[in-house]
Each structure stands twice: as structure tokens, then as C-alpha cells.
Amino acid sequence: MPEINIGVVSTYPVLSRQIMALAAERQLKVQLREGVLQEGVRQARQLEKQGVDVIISRGPTGRMIKKAVSLPVALIDITSFDILQALHAAGKLGRRIAYLGHRVHDFTPDFASITEILALEVHCYPYSNEYEMNCQVARILDEGTTDVVVSTGQCILEMSRRTGLKAVLVQSGYETVYSSLERARELARSVQQEQRRWQRFRSVLELTSDGILVLNENRQVSFLNPAGEKLLGVEAGSVLGRHVDELRQTVLGPLLQGGRASDVLKTVGKKQFLVSSLPILLKDQEQGAVITFQSADRIQVLEHNLRRQLFKKGLVARYTFADIIGESPLLLQAVRQAKKFAAAKATVLICGESGTGKELFAQSIHHESSRSRGPFVAVNCAALPENLLESELFGYEEGAFTGAKKGGKVGLFEMAHGGTIFLDEIGELPLPVQARLLRVLQEREIMRLGSDRIIPVDVRVIAATNYNLAREVKAGRFRSDLYHRLDVLGLELPPLRARKEDIGLLARHFVRQLSRQEGKSVPELTPAALEKLKKYDWPGNIRELQNVILKYVLLMESGQEPAELVGRLIGEKVQLRHQAASSGEGDTITLRIGKLEDMERQVIRYLQSTGRSAAEIARLLGTSRTTLWRKTRV
């Protein structure tokens, strides 16, 4: 703690010696000045400029100093014992005694008892201010009946020298002076603590990037931080101490209007700010207000950065119902149903063939729901091997298994807390993971691998599958209880072949989108080209259509007829389907001779090209999905 610097304005020499002796004994740093009344005030102001922490003084001088300086002032009190000693000394000098003192501060409750004990006749001359004191001094002199004057003020000694009247000064004893020094030290410590606390608080206010303006109880500006100066383009010195009414027509005007408000967009000058105004309450009494404001441009930048980070993590739903293209009755019915499901809280199961837009609908449902501000976490259950799927979904603790990351890992369900988790290809979940997922849906809580701690999660589940889950349940490959937990709100998406009136809209959209993406200008699809697209059944649905249009954009040459290129691309599709359909499970394929691993990958890729699922390919090859994933990941 910093050393305490005590300033003393002494009103008589004996007091000066007492204080300096006690300060040396207590090892206190003291700056001593002497002076009474106005001279004492002048000396106190000098001490204030020199940086003392607290001032000590006595009597009327001390009370005048207390009003004149901003520092804490410790007054040396007048005690009954001090008065008794002075009256006892006066009694030795004469029998007719006048006591001149402040009517509030210099007459203790024991005053009458003291005069009675000393058997002295004491006439009292009380005063309340300097004018009354001078009047009482003149009265004492005019009456001429006083032998000795007793007073707490040094002026009594000056009067004595001028008139020859005997005088006794009420002096403070050792204990009183000692107590005053201790009180001064405690006052200084309290002030230093408050200053440090305020400095820390001020540092926080000055370092924040938000503008902060504080009004005191008189509606005057008492603080404006540097960020506020920069945002508003004004200097704090030009507004500090000014009343709100004076500032209505200045750049601060919009900030000061509207009373209590939270997150209100206001135009200040040529800028827009998000403004909040809150009252400062002390014992339910308003003692001012704090106005915080930040640039709308900065908020937009922060939101952009946050969204960019979330996009990197895949925790944002990018699509809405407006992104769903089509006018067919089947599609419009699915959209209407999905919008109603978005308003609910129950689990949604989206069924449809591959490429029908299940994730697009899942993101749209999330975006339309009350959880739209929360994360959207998408998981492809078929893309992760069985031994990783459980740890990815539910997380794990450090040391849970060999190779576990130091510090453990947060699972996808925890990451989706407050939002939505989308479980795509839910039919590919292994039975052990299905059991754990069922518990999450029932209890809304998870337990990380290797942990015994239950973690509650607030997550809405949207699942999707291209399987007939009822058939999978009957075959024993999917849990019946989990199926019924998932199929609360079932949504069936129509295949593209069932809504051929939408093919033209989708194809034109993909041509425009992919042309911009590839930086290539290609002609619009002609009616003849669109007719060829509509005649194809599109087993791969919208995804297959998108792939064909991408080839169209890349292969289209100047002067080439769109219908001719589209017809060729569709013909290639039909030929591949015919070959796959005629080959059968026992059909043979031609393999390039090489390493066994490469030949295995050729077989797997061929089977994948036929549209078979990972589970079906694993069954055909007599292996597990984990081994299948390992063989194809390189």
C-alpha cells in the first residue's frame, strides 16, 4: 500500500510540537503548517496542491478547512477533559471567567458539571460563526467584568495581547491528538482504496470498445470514455459538467432522448448506433444514468466474423424455405407440412430417396424454428466408422481410449445445445449407438465416453433416411423403440420423377448458379433440351440433375445445340443404368491388375457407382462398414 502523506494545519505552537512528536513515534509522514481561520484555509489549500492524502486541523479553523478543500479532513475534537484543564488554569488567574466557544462544538454535555466541580463562576459567550464570535469578543470587552477569558480559538490569545486581558487556550491532550492521527490515517487508507477501485473501474470503462456516457443525479455529463469520444467525434472536456438540456441540439442529442431503453437503433450524425440507457439506482432512488452505445457497422462486422467462424465449423443453417425450388403440388405440400413442423418442438423424421433435399429441408426447419439463433449441427451417420461414431456424437474424456485427445473432446450433441442436430442417414447407425441415442431422446442427457458425469442437453433432433425404417425394424437392423421415438413428425419428400414439372425450374437455376461458379457463360436450356431432361426418371434425384447440369456447363462449346449435348449426357446415364441392372450381383467386372488393396478399391467403387448403400456393399463383400470405410478412405 502506498505511503500515507498527512497534512496538518496547527492552530497553536504546542499542538504543532505534539503532532510532530507523535508522528515521529508512529513513523508517519507529516507536512506541518500553522495558521488560524482564513490563513489556515490558505495553508490547507497549499497542502492539497502538494498532494497530501488527508488534512488534520482543530476548532473553527478545521471546520472552515473542511468546507474549502476536497480532501478528507480529520478534526481534533475538544474533550471534556481539555475544557476542565483550561478552566482549572483560568481559576488560578481570576474568579470572573468568560468562556468563549462555538455553541455546537465547544460545549460538551459535561460542561455544567465541570464548572460545579471546580466551584467556578463561568459566564458563557457562545457563537455560531465568525461574525458572532467577533460580536461576543466585543461584548466581553465592553462589559469589563471579566478577569480571564477561556476559548478554543487562537484568536483569544491575539485579543489578550491587544487588550491586556488574561486568556487561557483550551488545548488538546495527548490522547485526543493521537486519536486524530489514527483517524486521519484510516481516512487516507479508505480514500486510497476507493481511488484504486475507481481507477480499476475507470480503466475498464476506458479500455472497452463500446462508448460509455454517464450522467449524474443532476442530469449532467460526468464521464465519457475514449471510445465514446472517438465514436462521436467529440472531446470529453467539451461535454463534461454540461446539463442534458444544453446538449439536446448537439451531436449527443439523439443519445439523450427516449429515456430508459435497451438496444435501440439511433442515428447520431451520419452514423447509426445501437444504444442502451439504464438508470443508476441507489436504495431505489435514481442517481443518474449510464448510456452505452456501439457502432452498427462494428456489430455487423462482428456478426459477419461470428457467422464465418460458425460456417467453418458447420454449425449454421445456410438454407431456408426460400431456397427450395419448385411449384409442384407434392413439393408445396411437403413445404407447408415442414413449416408447421418447424413451429413444434418434437423430433422430425425426414424420409426420401438420396438426392431429394433432406438436409435442405432440415436446415429450413431449423431456420424457421424458435431455435434459429442456436447452432445447427449436421452429422452423416454413414460417413463415420462405427468405432468413431459414438465418440463423435457423445464426446469423450481424456484417456477414455488409446489415442484419445488430451483434454477430451466435446461431442456433437453438446455442440448442438440450444439448437438442432441433424442425423442424416440414420438407418446406418449400428445397434449399440442406437441404444445410446434412444437414451438421449428419452432423457435429454448424455454421458461422454470414459466419464461418469451426466450432461443435460437441450437439443432438437431432425433425422433423415432413404431406408424404409419400418422394414429395417422388422428385419432386426433398427430398434423398434428408437424408430417410434424418431417418427414423431414424419415428413416424406417426393422423388424428382414424381414432380417433373419442377425439372425445368431446377435445371435453369443450376445453369445460372454453376455458370457463375465456374466463370463460364453458356446458353440457356432450350425447350427441346428441357423436354429431354423431363423424359429421364432421375434415380439420383436433384443431386443427379445438378451433376448433369455441371457437365453441361463444362462441356458446352460455342455453337453447340443445348438439346444435342443434354441428349448425349442423358444417354450416357441410361447406358450406365442398363449395364448396372443387367450385371446382377454375380456379374464379373474387368479389374486392372495390381496390388490387392487397389483391386479391392476398384470393386468397391464399382459397387458404389451402382447406387448401393454402404451397408449393402459391406454385406455383399462379407465385411464390416468400418473395414469398408478404411479401405476407401485413402
Q: Looking at residue 330, what is its pLDDT?
A: 93
* Residue 349, in any domain of the structure: yes
The lowest-confidence range among 25-39, 114-128, 501-515, 569-583 is 569-583
Mean pLDDT over 578-589 rounds to 53
Q: Is the pLDDT of residue 598 over 50?
A: yes
Handedness of CA 102, 12, 41, 176 (dihedral sign): negative
390 and 463 part of one domain = yes
Task: Give the residues across from 524 on adjacent strands.
Answer: none
- Rounded to whole angstroms, the Cα distance separating 361 from 501 reads 20
Q: Looking at residue 450, what is its pLDDT?
A: 81
Picking from 255, 261, 293, the residue whose alpha carbon sits closest to that of residue 278 is 261
Count CB-CB contacts under 10 A for residue 273: 24
184 and 117 part of one domain = no
Give me the CATH number covering residue 268: 3.30.450.20
- Rounded to whole angstroms, the Cα distance separating 606 from 483 reads 32
Q: List the domain range (segments joined by +) for residue 138.
A: 80-171
The lowest-confidence range among 35-39, 103-107, 385-389, 480-484 is 385-389
Q: Would you give the DSSP letter of residue 519?
A: T
Q: Is 400 exposed, middle or buried (0-12, 13-18, 19+ CB in 10 A)?
A: middle
Query: In residues, how long is the chain?
Result: 634
Q: How confident is the model at residue 67 (pLDDT cuts 50, 70, 90)?
A: confident
- Higher per-residue pLDDT: 311 or 133: 133
601 and 478 part of one domain = no
- Rounded to whole angstroms, the Cα distance separating 557 from 241 reads 75
- Greatest alpha-carbon pair distance for the chain in Å reads 142
Contact status, residue 502 vs residue 327, Cβ threshold 8 Å: yes
Residue 557 zone, left/alpha/beta (φ > 0; ψ -120 to 50; rest):
beta
* Residue 201, in any domain of the structure: no
- SS3 letters for 300-329? HHHHHHHHHHHHHHCCCCCCCHHHCCCCCH
Reported as a single tens digit per residue, the pLDDT across 420-472 is: 999 998 888 888 888 888 888 888 888 888 877 788 888 899 999 988 888 88
Contact status, residue 120 vs residue 97, Cβ threshold 8 Å: yes
**CA dihedral of residues 89, 94, 98, 102 (deg, nearest 10):** -10
405 and 521 part of one domain = no
Q: How confident is the model at residue 365 (pLDDT cuts 50, 70, 90)?
A: very high
Q: Looking at residue 379, what is its pLDDT?
A: 86
Amino acid 242 reads R
- Rounded to whole angstroms, the Cα distance separating 106 from 307 reads 73
Q: Looking at residue 624, what is its pLDDT?
A: 62
Q: Looking at residue 314, what is its pLDDT?
A: 58
Rg (CA), the chain: 45
Contact status, residue 506 vs residue 514, Cβ threshold 8 Å: no
Edge-first strand listing for the sheet containing 460-465: 376-380, 420-424, 460-465, 348-351, 489-492
482 and 386 part of one domain = yes
- Rounded to whole angstroms, the Cα distance separating 379 from 116 reads 98
* Residue 302, in any domain of the structure: no
Specify the DSSP element, H or E, that contains 388: helix 386-394
- Higher per-residue pLDDT: 101 or 341: 341
329 and 279 part of one domain = no
Q: Compute the mean pLDDT over every residue in the chain, rounded to the nearest whole number.
A: 82
Q: How confident is the model at residue 623 (pLDDT cuts 50, 70, 90)?
A: low
396 and 425 part of one domain = yes
Mean pLDDT over 583-601 rounds to 54
25 and 89 part of one domain = no
- Rounded to whole angstroms, the Cα distance separating 465 from 479 reads 14
453 and 318 part of one domain = yes
Give me the CATH number covering residue 480: 3.40.50.300
Domain boundary among 189, 222, 239: 189
Backbone angles phi, psi at 110, to 5 degrees: -90, 10
- Higher per-residue pLDDT: 49 or 303: 49
Residue 357 makes CB contacts below 8 A (sequence gap 6+) with 324, 493, 541, 542
Task: Give the residues across from 56 on adjacent strands.
Answer: 8, 74
Give Cα separations from 16 to 36, 158, 318, 553 (angstroms).
Answer: 13, 18, 81, 100
Mean pLDDT over 196-210 rounds to 74
* Residue 194, in any domain of the structure: no
Q: Looking at residue 493, what is its pLDDT?
A: 93
Q: Is the pLDDT of residue 329 over 80?
A: yes
Contact status, residue 331 vs residue 501, Cβ threshold 8 Å: no
93 and 70 part of one domain = no
* Residue 627, in any domain of the structure: yes
- SS3 letters for 100-119? EEECCCCCCCCHHHHHHHHC
Reported as a single tens digit per residue, the pLDDT across 105-120 is: 778 788 888 888 888 8
- Rounded to whole angstroms, the Cα distance separating 152 from 481 reads 95
Mean pLDDT over 518-525 rounds to 88
Q: Is the pLDDT of residue 140 over 70?
A: yes
Q: Looking at residue 630, what is its pLDDT?
A: 63
Give me the CATH number covering residue 100: 3.40.50.10660
In the chain, how many domains are there?
A: 6
Residue 377 makes CB contacts below 8 A (sequence gap 6+) with 314, 315, 412, 415, 416, 419, 420, 421, 422
Mean pLDDT over 178-189 rounds to 84
Q: Looking at residue 304, what is its pLDDT?
A: 53
* Residue 433, in any domain of the structure: yes
- Rounded to whole angstroms, the Cα distance separating 409 from 397 reads 7
212 and 161 part of one domain = no
- Rounded to whole angstroms, the Cα distance separating 317 from 126 reads 84
* Residue 309, in any domain of the structure: no
Reported as a single tens digit per residue, the pLDDT across 289-322 is: 888 888 777 766 665 554 455 444 557 778 899 9
Q: Looking at residue 307, what is its pLDDT?
A: 47
Q: Looking at residue 603, what is its pLDDT?
A: 72
**Which pTM value belongs to this model?**
0.49
* Residue 346, in any domain of the structure: yes
Grid look-up 422430425 returns 348
457 and 413 part of one domain = yes
Q: Looking at residue 61, what is its pLDDT?
A: 84
Q: Looking at residue 151, what is its pLDDT?
A: 85
- Rounded to whole angstroms, the Cα distance separating 411 from 405 reads 13
Give me the CATH number covering residue 557: 1.10.8.60
- Rounded to whole angstroms, the Cα distance separating 333 from 339 reads 10
The lowest-confidence range among 175-184, 264-273, 337-346, 348-357 is 264-273
